[in-house]
A and B are shown apart, each in its own frame.
Chain A
Amino acid sequence: MLIRFENVTKRFGSFIAVDDVSLDIEAGEFFSLLGPSGCGKTTLLRMLAGLETPTEGRILIDGVDMVGVPPNRRPVNMVFQSYAVFPHMNVAQNVAYGLKIDRVPKAEREARVADALALVKLSEFAHRRPDQLSGGQRQRVALARALVKRPKVLLLDEPLSALDAKLRDAMRGELAQIQRDVGVTFVMVTHDQDEALAMASRCALMNRGTLQQVATPGDLYEYPANRFVADFIGTINLFEGTLSVDAPDHAAVTTPALDAPIHVDHGVTGATDAKVWVGVRPEKIAMTPASGPRPTGPAAMPQANVTHGTIMTSAYLGAVTFYDVATAGGTMIKVSAPNGTRSASPALPAGTAVWLHWAPDAPIVLLG
C-alpha cells in the first residue's frame, strides 16, 4: 500500500480531533475522507501533508515514516480549499513555482508547465493574473501547480466547495478523468456525500475523530456498518426493534413502529432478543393502492415486510417523487417512487391510503 496511518491520534489541547485512526490507502486510488464538519477529516489530510503533526501514531508514505518530515520534503502536494493561488504571479509562474524550487532546468520546466496547463485546459491563460480568473479557473491553476510536481499523492481539501452548483457537477467528472489520466493517488476531503460517492473509488466515513466505515461507495450505501453511516449516507428509514428470529440465512425483527415483523434474508451475528436497528432505503419500498389486495411477504414469513399507511405529504422532484407515509401507529416512513412513465398527475395526493412493502433483501440490520 502507498499510505498507512498507524493508530494516529491528534489532540488540540483537550480536544481530540483524530482518535486512533488506522487506515491503508493503495496506489492509484481516488480515496475520499468523508464526514460532517469537525469530524477530523481535514486534520487527517493536513497530517498527511505535514501541516499538522500527529500527537500519537505513525504515518507512512511508500513505507517511509513521515513523522518529523517537514511539508516541503514530502512526496505529496495539496490543492487548498481556498486554492491559495499566489496573487503576485501569473498562471504560468504559479505552476512553475514548485519546479523552480526543485531546480528543474528551464527547458524541461517550461515543457512541464505547458503540459500541466494543457491537462487542466488553461493553456491560453498562462499569462493571466489570478485576479483575472474565475473561481473554477483558479482551482485549475491550483490543480496544475500541484500535479506538475508529479507527487506520489495529491491531496484535495474540499476542492469543489467554493464553486457554484453547475460548475461543481462539471468539475466532478473532470477531476475523476484527470485522476485516471495521470494515475496519481488522490486523497480528497469532502463533507458532500454526493461528491464522494460520485468520484471516489473508496471512502472513509468519519465521525468525531473516529473511522466509521471504509468501503466502496456502493458498500457504504447498501451495507452501512452502523446507524451513523446508514443515516449520514443518503436517506433511510430506521426502526428500533428486537431480534426475534436469528437463523444463519435469515432473521426477523419485531418493532413497535410497525404491526408486521421485518424479515431479512441475511443472518445477524447477534443473540436473539438483542436490541437492534433496521434500516430500509426509501427507493426499496414499493407502494400499491390500499384498494388492492394486501401484498404478501416472503414465503418463510408471509405477513412480514408489509404495512398499511396514509400519504401525508409528497414532494415531486421530476425524476422521482418523495412521500411521507404515516402508519396507523403514527410511524412516518419515507418512500421514493420513480416517475417511469409520463403522467399529468405524477404525485399521489395527500390522504391516499396505500400498502407499503419491500423485499427481504431490502432491509439491513444494524447492531450499533
Chain B
Amino acid sequence: MASARGISGGSRSAFWAVFLTPALWMMLFFVVPLSVIWAYSFGRTLGLTEVVVTGTLANYVRVFDPVYLMIFAKSLVFAGVTTAICLIIGFPYALVMTFASARAKILLLLAIMLPFWTNLLVRTYALMAVMRTEGWINDGFGLVGLGPFEMLHTNFAVITGLVYVHLPFIVLPLFSTLDRLDRSLIEASLDLGAGHLRTIFQVVIPIVWPGILSAVLLCFIPALGSYLTPDLLGGPDSQMIASVIERQFKRANDWPFGAALSFMLMYLTLAAMAWRALAERRAAGKEAH
C-alpha cells in the first residue's frame, strides 16, 4: 500500500517530468508541421507564397495521373530491387560476420560502417567518378579492349548506388538477429546429418525469419524515399518520387500538390509496415497451432 501511494505521489511527477520534454518536442517539431503539410494537401496555391486550405481533393486526384503513378511504380520497383540485392549480398555477409573471429568481426563491421559514416554526397560523387565514361571501371575495361560502357545516368547506376547506400541498413539488423541465434541449433542440425546449405535454409532462415522481415523493411523504406542517389546517378528516365516531390516544393512552387505526393509516399510506407505486422501476426498464429 505504502509503495502504491509512493507511485501516485513522487513517481508520478517524475514520470511527467521525463515524459513532457520529448512529448512537447514531438508536438512542436513533428506533429504540428506534419499536420500543416497534411492540411496543405487539401488546398490550393494563391499567388506566389500563399496557400488556402479549401478541402479540395484535386491534389490527390492529380496524384493518380498515370505520369505520377508510373513514377510511384518505378520507385517501388527500384526500392524492391535494391532491397532484394541488399538481402542477397547482406545475408551471407551477416552470416560470415556472425561466425567470424572477434578480430575479423570488427574488420567486417568497419567495412560496412565506414561508408555509412561518410557524407552521402561525397560517397555519391565518388561513385560518379568511378562509373563515368572516362572513369576507373571503363579505364579497366579499356585495358582489355572493351568498352567504354555508358554506366552513369542509367537505371543500373541508380540501383548500384542505392544498394551501396542501403547495405548497412540490412546487414546490421540481420547481424544482430543472427548473433542472438543459439549456436547449438546449428550444431544440432549438423549433428543430425544436415549439410551447411540445408542447415541455413531449413534451420537458420526459418528461425530468424522475423528478423529478416524487419531488416527488409529497414532497407526498403529509406530506399523508397531516396532522393540524392537517383538525382545524381540517374538519367532522365530514372526519377524516383522524392525528386518529383522536391520539384513541386521548389521549382513548381506547388506546395499543396507536393504535400499530397508526400502523403502518398507516407501511406505506402505505412502499408509496408502494416504488411510487416500482419506477417508477424500470421507467423505467431501458426506457432500457436
How many B residues, CB 8 Å from partner?
Answer: 19
Spot the interface stretch: A94-102, A171-179, A355-363. A94-102
Which residues of B lie under 8 Å from residue A131 when comparing CB positions?
287
Report the bound CA distance from A86 to B189 in whole Å.
9
Min CB distance, A91 to chain B, in Å? Answer: 14
A203–B120 Cα distance when bound, in Å, is 63
Q: Cα distance A361–B207 when bound, in Å?
A: 60
* A58 CA / B211 CA spacing, docked (Å): 41
* Distance of A78 Cα from B185 Cα, bound (Å): 12
Assess the A78–B194 pair: CB atoms within 8 A.
Answer: no
CB within 8 Å of B: which A75-111 residues:
76-78, 80-82, 84, 86-88, 97-98, 101-102
Whether B187 and A80, one on each chain, are in contact in the complex, defined by CB atoms closer than 8 angstroms, is: yes
* Residue pair B187, A149 in contact (C-beta under 8 Å): no
Q: Which residue of B lies closest to A157 (CB)?
A: B184
Within 8 A of A (CB), among B171-188: 182, 184-185, 187-188
A312→B100 CA distance, assembly (Å): 57
Q: Which of chain B's residues 225-275 have a Cβ closer than 8 Å to chain A?
A: none
B95 CB → nearest A CB, Å:
18
Q: Does B65 touch A at the CB level, under 8 Å?
A: no
**For A72, what are the chain B residues with a Cβ–Cβ distance below 8 Å?**
190-195
Using C-beta atoms within 8 Å of the partner chain, give the interface range for chain A: 20 to 34
Say if the beta carbon of A346 comes within 8 Å of chain B: no
Nearest opposing residue in chain A for B198, CB measure = A101
Residues of B contacting A250 in the complex (Cβ-Cβ under 8 angstroms): none
B184, A97: Cβ atoms under 8 Å?
A: no
Q: With A86-B203, A101-B198, A131-B287 given, is the CB distance from A71 to B185 under 8 Å?
A: no
Q: Does A211 make an interface contact (CB < 8 A)? A: no
Partner of A70 from B185, B190, B203 at Cβ < 8 Å? B190
On whether the beta carbons of B184 and A80 are closer than 8 Å, the reply is yes
What residues of chain B have their CB less than 8 Å away from a CB belonging to chain A?
A: 182, 184-185, 187-195, 198, 202-203, 206-207, 287-288
12 A–B contacts from the bound complex (CB under 8 Å): A76-B191, A80-B184, A80-B187, A84-B188, A88-B287, A97-B194, A98-B193, A129-B287, A145-B192, A146-B191, A149-B192, A149-B193
Q: A82-B184, A84-B182 are in contact. List 15 more A-B contacts (CB 8 A).
A: A49-B191, A51-B187, A51-B190, A51-B191, A72-B191, A72-B192, A72-B194, A81-B184, A86-B185, A86-B189, A86-B203, A86-B207, A88-B207, A142-B188, A145-B188
Closest 4 CB pairs of A and B: A98-B192, A84-B188, A84-B184, A101-B193
